[in-house]
Structure 1
Amino acid sequence: MNTTGITALRDSAAAVVRDLDMDAISAAAEVLAEVRLSQGIVLTAGNGGSSSTASHFAADLVKYTRSPQQPHFRALSLTDNIACHTAWTNDADPALAMAYLAEPWLPTGAKDAAVLFSVHGGARDGSVSTNLVELARFVHKTGGKVIAVTGFDGGAIGDISDVHINVPLDREPVATPGVESVHLLVAHALCLLLSGKEPS
């Protein structure tokens, strides 16, 4: 079997991991730490494979960072409620479904945040991942912060985020699996920072 593709994936992912923006990761952790201290809500979201990363991240925020010295994280992945998600997608404008899902959790003026995972970051012409772009706008409207974890050039979500962590792979067939893999590493890095655990 020809291993050229997986060699390219390995090498591309390794290169972007070495060059990850540590300042952006640290800034994202600071936003999340503020939400934790104020007992606000952290909402996570993504489409497709990124929705599973969002779900994994919310679970790790709640469990992995648990500490007797710190308040619990109150984190929720919006796409985990499949019934509610599909109801909004079916009964209303699908582009607004994520915002409707977020609405009960984000009272105006609260110190909340959304962490959005998206390979392309949403098309600037509104043709792709509009639901995440509209969610970001809604979060800002309530006074919350948006952390975007993207690939390619960051797209519309990267443009309007408060903190942007970008994995700049942009050549398929390596880009999508590479970006999604590194996004999970970013999620784990954030949880490690927020846990206060030190590598031995």
Structure 2
Amino acid sequence: MGYEIKIDSWLEDAATLIRGIDVSAVADAAENLIRVRNANGTIFLAGNGGSASTANHLALDLQKAGISPRGVRPKVISLSENIGLITAWGNDESFDVVFEKQMEALAEKGDSLLIISVSGSSPNLVRAVSKASDMGMSTVGFLGKDGGSCRDLLDYPIVLPSWDYGWVESGHMVLHHILTNIFHDTAE
């Protein structure tokens, strides 16, 4: 009752944010991830809170959508998924190391890390990006606000310049589905 004007305004805000996505940055990030997949590398994903759920969902979709007609399956792992391991590292050392410690055990030169974060400044993500770079991995980020501390550390930052968590998270899901479609369309 009477919400039509507000709903219309919210939809316009969302559309403006989506239309503002840097298409070239998305294409460059997608090409990087396709190179990693085609070289039989592993794509790691990480995020906190709602972005952890997006990372888990994207890992599922990239792995399933990227299956080639020959049955080749891309290697995609969400570092946000293993709650036992995350809480063990967080409890025993620090929450700041929960992603980098997993990468030390699993990642190799030539792999890629894709982080998802509205702020782009979570210490565990900053450390994960730095660790990935040190290991010779490429780095991609779905970010919000001004990109935060991670923006300048990433090889492929994609920033949705809004301080509204809901719209940024929705925009990250749009990017998620764009990447999933590209993975599907380029499966060999």
Q: Are 2:100 and 2:124, in contact at CA under 8 Å, matched by a contact in 1?
A: yes
1:181 equivalent to 2:170? Answer yes
Code of the residue aligned with 1:117 in structure 2: it is: I
Q: Distance in 2 between matches of 1:142 and 1:148?
A: 17
Give structure 2 stretches of 5+ with no counterpart. none
Task: Tell me which stretches of 4 or more aligned residues in structure 1 moved more than 4 Å.
Answer: none
- Identical columns (%): 34
User: Considering only aligned residues, what root-mean-square deviation do their CA atoms show, in Å?
Assistant: 1.6
In the other structure, the counterpart of 1:121 is 120
Q: Distance in 2 between matches of 1:80 and 1:6?
A: 34
In the other structure, the counterpart of 2:123 is 130
In the other structure, the counterpart of 2:181 is 192
Deviations 1:46-85 (A, max 9, x none): 0110001101110011001212257421001111101001
Code of the residue aligned with 2:39 in structure 1: it is: S
State TM-score, norm by structure 1: 0.87
1:160 equivalent to 2:153? Answer yes
Q: Distance in 1 between matches of 2:7 and 2:133?
A: 39
Give structure 1 stretches of 5+ with no counterpart. 123-128
How far residue 136 of structure 1 moved from its aligned partner, in angstroms, is 0.3
Task: Determine helix, strand or coil for the equivalent of 1:80.
Answer: coil
In the other structure, the counterpart of 2:64 is 63
Code of the residue aligned with 1:159 in structure 2: it is: D
1:83 equivalent to 2:84? Answer yes
How far residue 6 of structure 1 moved from its aligned partner, in angstroms, is 4.1
Task: Determine helix, strand or coil for the equivalent of 1:79.
Answer: coil
State TM-score, norm by structure 2: 0.93
Q: Are 1:96 and 1:134, in contact at CA under 8 Å, matched by a contact in 2?
A: yes
Mean CA deviation greater in 66-75 or 21-30: 66-75
1:100 equivalent to 2:93? Answer no
In the other structure, the counterpart of 2:143 is 150
User: How many residue pairs align between the two structures?
Assistant: 185
Deviations 1:81-137 (A, max 9, x none): 010010000000221121012211113xx2100110000111xxxxxx100000000
Q: Are 2:65 and 2:183, in contact at CA under 8 Å, matched by a contact in 1?
A: no
